[in-house]
Structure 1
Amino acid sequence: MDDLWDDTWVVVPLYREEAVVGDVVRGLRRVFGRVVCVDDGSGDASGERAAEAGAVVVSHPVNLGQGAALQTGLEYALSDPTTRYLVTFDADGQHQVADAAAMVERLRTGEAEVVLGSRFLDRRTALDPRKRAVLRAATWHARLTTGLRVTDTHNGLRALTRRAAEHLDLTQSRMAHASQLLEQVADSGLPYVEHPVHVLYTDYSRTKGQSMWNSVNILTESLFR
């Protein structure tokens, strides 16, 4: 493992992903030395599979939601005094390790303190037109409420400097945490950029909540949280 990446923690919220999380962690560990999975009350073997693959596993005794899992993971990573960079990464196999590495490289150059993944900056991500429309509406709302000129407000792949992560205090436990995170980035005044990422939708990920109805739930929570 190259020491270059031992100053970075990857935070993976984990809920009932025992079938794929081992592969996700192994893929991350080829580049990043430190991965923490927050098992959010899964009730299956998700935590065990993550640990076998080399992740540190922190567990919630009950399901608290993705926002709560992210906050727990960020706090764990920040408790390590050698941490310089943090990445948030989904457990279901949709995100690409190469994208995460490229985003951390942009932090290293000093270009920004927050790098936000966007599936709308290139054509790699295949989206159902209806889902694209709903996500665009959620993005429009977030831009109005935060003032950030972003193109994808509900993308779980992000890279943060330590200073940026220390500004985050996610209290919205469900999907509305994504909008709250952007509000806190805006309030911090720290520089941010977007980075094109490939979100890979598979039959498995669709069965895990990446349906049209999930997109509608995202929009509803964004509007009424």
Structure 2
Amino acid sequence: MTLTPVQEDAWLVIPLYEEARVVEDVLREARAVFPHVVCVDDASRDHSAERARAAGAVVVQHPFNLGQGAALQTGMRYVLEATDAAYLVTFDADGQHRPQDAAEMVQRARDERLAIVFGSRFLDRRTRPGLLKKLVLKAAVWLTNQQTGMKLTDAHNGLRVIRRDAAVRLDLRQNRMAHATEIVLQLGRTGLPWAEHPVHVLYTDYSRAKGQSLMNSVNILVDTILK
């Protein structure tokens, strides 16, 4: 088995909302590759923040629930102001993203001098989202590409690598799922080099039990239309 190199110059930025059941395991695996992690607890009502701290993450807390876009903006601001990280990696707290994929994306950004690397679950066949979810996501991608002028295959994947000079240009205002389109739009406007990278999104029993598999996709589509 090939060991994934530790990424010392990259910080994971993880929006956190009521993931107490899984966040310690997610962080234990992630910090084996990315020792530097900031979780932004978006006013969880469970013990998410305490368990994230116990797992070694820096935790910043919102006093009120502001939405995932706001949590990402808070986390990126923390990294930019408090660290000298070269790369920021947006990463989900529910176990759907793989640290190995994130590390490959950071390495690709270094090797190809890319400012942005978007994770895509549709560049290979490893991810199996289900037909209805796939159709909804594909519709959201088409709408995002129409709005932004980009040509992405998976515009609403939460796994992204953003180089520091690109991250400083982000100013997210959309707090709900439409923030994903906003990120694409703002990063596209920088004119900095970007690419997509194939990733394996893991649809776990936990995420399906929370209703994330389909409902998040519907929310993405609705917010994209209303943006």
Instruction: Please indicate the TM-score interval, normalised by the length of the shorter structure.
Output: over 0.9
Give the alignment's TM-score, normalised by structure 1.
0.96
Unmatched 5+ stretches in structure 1: none
Hey, what does 2:177 align to over in structure 1? 175
Q: 1:219 to 1:8 in 2, by over 3 A?
A: same
Give the 3 Å change call, closer, same or farther, for CA 29–66 of structure 1 in structure 2.
Answer: same
Counterpart of 2:206 in structure 1 is 204
Which of 73, 82, 94 is 1:92 aligned to? 94
What's the counterpart of residue 80 of structure 2?
78
* Residue deviations 1:100-142 (CA, integer Å, cap 9, x gap): 0000001111431100000000111111101101100000011
SS in 1 for 2:125: coil
Structure 2 residue identity aligned to 1:220: V
- The residue that corresponds to 1:190 in the other structure is 192
1:109 aligned residue (108, 111, 116): 111
Aligned to 1:109, what secondary structure does the other structure show? Answer: helix
Please, what TM-score do these two structures have when normalized by structure 2? Answer: 0.95
Q: Tell me how far apart the structure 1 counterparts of residues 92 and 138 of structure 2 sit (CA, whole Å).
A: 20
Shift of 1:33: 1.9
**Counterpart residue number, 2:138:** 136
- Higher deviation after alignment, 79-88 or 120-129: 79-88
What is the SS of the residue equivalent to 2:196?
strand
Q: Which runs of 5+ in 2 are unaligned?
A: none
Distance 2:141 2:222 in 1: 12
Measured in 1, the distance between the counterparts of 2:215 and 2:133 equals: 9
Runs of 4+ in 1 over 4 A off after TM superposition: none
Partner residue of 1:163? Answer: 165
* SS state at 2:212 partner: coil
Matched, 1:24 2:26: yes
- Report the identity percentage: 58
Counterparts of 2:172 and 2:108, CA distance in 1: 24
Cα separation, partners in 2 of 1:3 and 1:142, compared to 1, 3 Å: closer
> Cα RMSD (Å) of the superposition?
1.4
The letter of the residue matching 1:29 is R
Q: Which amino acid aligns with 2:222?
A: T
